[in-house]
């Protein structure tokens, strides 16, 4: 990859981002006009709706939006009119509306389509703006147990004495054994300056830590140099609007390395366009992802011609929590034979949501499309199989051994060694 000078960083980001957004708009204009299919390139309404509606009107507007925009036009094989008839003249309060909307959404059997109250919608938007209230830990699930993978330096968790490798047993008295990483994360997050109590297991000793939540300045991209020759970039989330800038900056810092490890473990996804942006930086041709609308028609997002591309050897690390946007990147690089995928099978989220700003300062995350990998694979509820299956065991955690990272390093070291031998011949 060519050296990206700092004074040109902003120009590169704006140029590439504008190119991608224009590409999105042009390719989806036909679908929007021909299918009554609402799609925004950023998957997020930019205008906030502050219109105040009566509770039943809020329900009715949500009913219409789902009926017209949900990706499955059969709405999980049901007569959608039944919900309007069922709740007619029964919704009196805001709480009544929330219960009715959530019940209606539950009938879709779609865990990703959800109604957001005012507080939940505000929390989601602050996350997109790179703000979150929590304690500053990255967690990982292995063998049904939740571990702290890393602690952000200077964050409340760091000050409170939490350490990488700690197993979380309970959060605010809730036993999380066998629970999902998403559930644990929701327990940890909360309002500013509120307390969260964690019961942890460190070695053979149980400890209880009470930690005050604070605003965590999210930096979604971390970078390092391993063994002098191998660069390392970890993207913790694709949710932040700052992710593309942070990613280009990380690539620039690693310009003198000879190979790269891209770590997407524990990355549960985020904004669609961030995934396309990152995948685009490694590909000079080929499809990145194919999005299928409610009529079955679709459009492929293809790698764009550009001056800047990282073309050195690449390994991508994934695990069972790598989902959504992480899977878009992983499958694009795997199907185009651009990277070797190492780790465990990914989560399997092959559907795309749009974030709608709704009246009364509420919101709706609605599944409006599904996607296929460049090779045409539907990974929803299936996941992506890595090229090399490598699992981190409990013993690895206790010994602070990252077996997946070490495996990736060995792959790249051997590849660099063989390339050097070939060059000397």
Please identify every residue annotated as catalytic: 324, 335, 349
Give the H or E element holding residue 120.
helix 118-128
- CA 71 – CA 112 distance, rounded (Å): 12
Of 97, 43, 102, the residue nearest 69 (C-alpha): 43
Report the DSSP beta bridge partners of residue 343: 318, 389
> Measuring CA to CA, how many Å separate 190 from each of 124, 140, 186, 210?
12, 19, 8, 13
Contacts of 99-106 spanning 24+ positions with Cβ under 8 A: 100/59, 101/58, 101/59, 101/62, 104/62, 104/63, 104/66, 105/66
- CA 347 – CA 268 distance, rounded (Å): 8
Q: What angle do CA 9, 15, 17 make, to 5 degrees?
A: 100
DSSP state of 344: S
E strands, 227-321, where?
A: 230-235, 259-263, 287-292, 298-302, 314-318
DSSP state of 286: S
- Max CA separation in the chain (angstroms): 82
- Cα 365 to the chain's mean position, in Å? 14
**396, 316 Cβ separation under 8 angstroms:** no
- CA 175 – CA 391 distance, rounded (Å): 25
E strands, 123-237, where?
A: 131-134, 137-142, 145-151, 167-171, 174-175, 195-202, 205-212, 214-217, 221-226, 230-235
Q: How many CB atoms lie within 10 A of CB 228?
A: 8
- CA 353 – CA 277 distance, rounded (Å): 18
Report the DSSP beta bridge partners of residue 215: 133
**288, 339 Cβ separation under 8 angstroms:** no
**344, 390 Cβ separation under 8 angstroms:** yes
**188, 162 Cβ separation under 8 angstroms:** no
- CA 219 – CA 163 distance, rounded (Å): 19
């Amino acid at each position: 990859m060519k050296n990206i000078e700092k004074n040109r960083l902003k120009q590169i980001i704006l140029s590439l981002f504008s190119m991608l957004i224009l590409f999105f708009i042009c390719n989806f204009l036909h679908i929007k006009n021909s299918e009554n299919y609402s799609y925004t390139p950023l998957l997020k309404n930019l205008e906030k709706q502050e219109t105040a509606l009566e509770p039943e009107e809020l329900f009715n507007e949500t009913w219409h939006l789902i009926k017209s925009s949900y990706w499955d036009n059969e709405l999980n094989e049901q007569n959608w009119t039944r919900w309007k008839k069922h709740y007619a003249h029964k919704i009196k309060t805001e709480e009544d509306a929330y219960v009715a909307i959530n019940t209606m959404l539950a009938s879709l059997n779609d865990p990703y389509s959800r109604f957001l109250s005012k507080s939940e919608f505000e929390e989601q938007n602050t996350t997109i703006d790179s703000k979150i209230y929590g304690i500053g830990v990255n967690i990982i699930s292995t063998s049904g147990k939740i571990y702290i993978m890393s602690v952000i330096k200077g964050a409340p968790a760091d000050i409170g004495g939490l350490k990488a490798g700690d197993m979380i047993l309970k959060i605010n008295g809730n036993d999380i054994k066998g629970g999902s990483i998403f559930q644990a994360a929701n327990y940890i997050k909360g309002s500013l300056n509120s307390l969260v109590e964690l019961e942890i297991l460190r070695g053979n000793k149980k400890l209880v830590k009470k930690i005050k939540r604070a605003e965590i300045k999210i930096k979604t991209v971390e970078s390092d140099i391993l063994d002098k020759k191998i660069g390392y970039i970890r993207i913790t989330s694709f949710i932040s609007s700052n992710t593309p800038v942070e990613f280009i900056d990380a690539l620039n810092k690693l310009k003198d390395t000879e190979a790269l490890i891209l770590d997407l473990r524990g990355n549960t996804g985020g904004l669609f366009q961030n995934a396309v942006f990152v995948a685009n930086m490694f590909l000079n041709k080929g499809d990145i992802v194919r999005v299928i609308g409610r009529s079955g028609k679709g459009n492929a997002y293809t790698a764009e011609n550009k001056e800047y591309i990282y073309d050195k050897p690449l390994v991508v690390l994934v695990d069972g929590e790598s989902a959504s946007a992480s899977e878009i990147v992983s499958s694009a690089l795997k199907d185009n034979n651009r990277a070797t995928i190492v780790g465990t099978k990914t989560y399997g989220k092959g559907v795309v949501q749009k974030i709608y700003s709704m009246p009364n300062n509420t919101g709706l995350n609605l599944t409006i499309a599904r996607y296929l990998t460049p090779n045409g694979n539907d990974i929803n509820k299936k996941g992506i199989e890595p090229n090399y299956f490598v699992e981190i065991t409990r013993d690895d955690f206790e010994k602070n051994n990252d077996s997946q990272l070490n495996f990736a390093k060995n792959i790249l070291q051997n590849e660099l060694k063989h390339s050097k031998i070939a060059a000397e011949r």
